[in-house]
Structure 1
Amino acid sequence: MGQGPGTGLDRRGFLRGAAGLSAAGVLAGLGSGAVTAQAAVRRRAAPAALSVQDWMSALPDSTPVQRLTIPGTHDSGARIGGPWVACQNTAVDAQLASGIRFLDVRCRAVDNVFAIHHGAFYQQLMFGDVLNACRAFLQAHPTETVLMRVKQEYSEVSAEEFRRIFTLYLDDKGYRPLFRLDGGLPALGQARGKVVLLADSDGLGGVRYGDPQLFDIQDDYMAEPFGKWPKVEAQFRKAAGQPGKLFVNYVSTAALLPPRSNADRLNPQVKGLLEGSEGSSWTGLGIVPMDFPNEFGLAETLIRHNVAGSRVRLTP
């Protein structure tokens, strides 16, 4: 496979400096073999420790992305505009550091660049800022990958014009090496150190977001919280019981109340289900985009659903 992201050389370099070194070795089968009997007893007795910044290091390269449980943010750049607009209260770099691995990026095409918008509200953020945050994070944590939905927002340029501007970012601005632009869903080893493009506009390349052959998406963004929760719960159960496609399960909704108020109602229910006696054993739940997940520790809850039956202690 050469010496790109996800190879043995990069992973050894990462493991030399990462927090939670021994735990990553235990979970991923990367231990040195030179373990004393006393150390082995300690390992069996204590939960394994793993940094939320490097949680994918515990998973084999052969893991298909559709078998992962991936914490994500809905409308990832939406922090400005008041309670009816803001969906997050942390910046993209902080989201990635907290364990988030799916970003929902909404781009307004204007003057050969993409401005990040939520509806009419400019978020004081440009697409290049998002890409710089991803590049810095993945350079520091090469075992990880970021899945990124790119969607046009608050502009009505043609798909051809949107594609032209996106290509400027790839080639004129130098971001092509950051992306994985293949059309199929990758195994984790093929995606490490890269942004996997989930293209929500024709002709961008990458994986076609919403392709029914690849995805199973629950995104009823106009269901009020009492109506939304059964849809969220059913999608979790379907993902756990009918693996195959890449499931996407939006916890977020825009109905009746501001995003934060809806999150205050829905996010604790997600946490209760996934940490309960039944849901705690589920794996392969797909992408779970959320509003304000940091307020409820939901990234950590979801990360634990990647290793069946494991006793994982996550550290910052």
Structure 2
Amino acid sequence: MGLDRRGFLKGAAALAGAGMLAGAGAGSAVAAPGRRTATVSAQNWLAAVGDATPIQRLSIPGTHDSGARHGGPWVECQNTSVAEQLASGIRYLDVRCRAIDDVFAIHHGAFYQELMFGDVLNACRDFLAAQPSETVLMRVQQEYSEVAAEEFRRIFDLYLDTKGYRPLFRLDGGLPTVGEARGRVVLLADADAMPGVRYGAPELFDIQDDYMTEPLGKFPKIEAEFRKAVAEPGKLFVNHVSTAALLPPRSNADRLNPKVKSLLEGEGADWQGLGVVPMDFPNENGLAETLIRHSIGDALA
């Protein structure tokens, strides 16, 4: 998170007066070897995708600042729990961890989100146990703490080994196929010294995240990134619909999400391989299901 973003959140904190921690449209399916054709739901939509399909050839609905549900309108980015997000088809989580006392507390800026990293991992583990065809891409970064990279890694390793979450994760450094990722959380490490896929590595990712661009200026950036993903496949595109400019995230989402949905159901109905699309409040207008249909078409019930 850049200094300008931190400054914005500090201002939001002052405005809200809160404290810190105390204790589905049509689309074309990806043509992939071994693609399955059974009808699926939002809970198990990856069951319709062949094992050999590279993750970067999918269109993956995600949430931006996935745990941010508390702190007032300038801080809140979601209104559903992690478990509810996964059940609705979300397959990318943006997890912000404050390192404190050998644990990770989930924060958005100064605001503790009444959620711990273990709660997020339990939700993922329960979901994947019930839906083993699925995977979760999880971006993990440090938020509202500034411990050294080695200390952040030490605490993460406590979750892996002392708390028993290692079997949940896929910690390889390369982007997997769908078959390689099924039943696991694919770690996208946005912190030095961490295992997993290096989030933002230029040889692997193409990212649009202009989070301080107002909606009128943001939409052309979103559209341009979609077009680039279609024209230049290969990397994992991460195309943030979310923005915090001028208005609270919910107000911006109410303006942007319907426009993005209209684009993907209209001119972009045949676009494939759009990558990860992190959103604020995606449950309000069915945008997640629209994106899923860009991976599996009419296989979605």
Note the residue ranges of structure 1 that are not aligned, 5 or more in a row.
1-26, 32-47
Q: Deviations over 1:42-94 (max 9, x none)?
A: xxxxxx74211000000000000010110000000000001110000000000
Distance (whole Å) between structure 2 residues aligned to residue 149 and residue 92 of structure 1: 14
2:282 maps to what in 1? 293
- The one-letter code sitting in structure 1 at the alignment partner of 2:140 is V
Instruction: Note the C-alpha offset of 1:203.
Output: 1.3
Is the CA contact 1:105–1:116 (under 8 Å) kept in the aligned structure 2? yes
What's 1:311 paired with?
A: 298
Query: Of 174, 183, 190, which aligns to 1:193?
Result: 183
1:257 to 213, 225, 247: 247
Q: Following the alignment from structure 1 to structure 2, what is the Cα–Cα distance between the partners of residues 127 and 306?
A: 29
Superposed CA deviations along residues 166-220 of structure 1, whole A, max 9, x for unmatched, are: 0000000000000000000001100000000000001110000000000000000
TM-score, normalised with respect to structure 1: 0.83
In structure 2, distance between residues paired with 1:199 and 1:100: 19
Cα contact 2:42–2:300 (8 A) shared by 1 = no
Task: Give 1:156-175 correspondences, 5 Å limit.
Answer: 156-175=146-165
Q: How far apart, in 2, do the equivalents of 1:112 and 1:29 lie?
A: 43
Q: Look up the match of 1:19.
A: none
Matching of residues 110-189 of structure 1 within 5 Å: 110-189=100-179
Alpha carbons 1:73, 1:291 under 8 Å: kept: yes
Aligned residues: CA RMSD: 1.3
- How many pairs are equivalent? 269
Q: Which amino acid aligns with 2:293?
A: R
How far residue 272 of structure 1 moved from its aligned partner, in angstroms, is 0.2
- Which of the pair has the greater relative contact order for Cα pairs under 8 Å at 6+ separation? 2
Larger Rg: 1
Q: Which of 260, 271, 281 is the matching residue for 2:270?
A: 281
Matches within 5 A, 1:1-316: 49-276=39-266, 278-307=267-296, 310-314=297-301
Task: Give the Cα separation in 1 of the matches to 2:34 and 2:198.
Answer: 31
Task: Provide the rounded CA distance (Å) in 2 between the counterparts of 1:94 and 1:304.
Answer: 19
Q: Give the Cα separation in 2 of the matches to 1:311 and 1:88.
A: 28
Q: Which runs of 4+ in 1 moved over 2 A?
A: 27-31, 310-314
CA contact (8 A) 1:53 1:97 kept: yes
Deviation of 1:311 after TM superposition, in Å, equals 2.7
Native 8 Å contact 2:240 2:277 kept in 1: yes
Match of 1:10 in 2: none
CA deviations over 1:209-240 (Å, ceiling 9, x no partner): 00000000000000011111110010011111
Match of 1:232, SS state, is helix
* In structure 1, distance between residues paired with 2:103 and 2:97: 9
Q: Which amino acid aligns with 1:304?
A: R
Equivalent residue letter for 1:287: V
CA gap of 1:267–1:172, structure 2 versus 1, over 3 A, is same
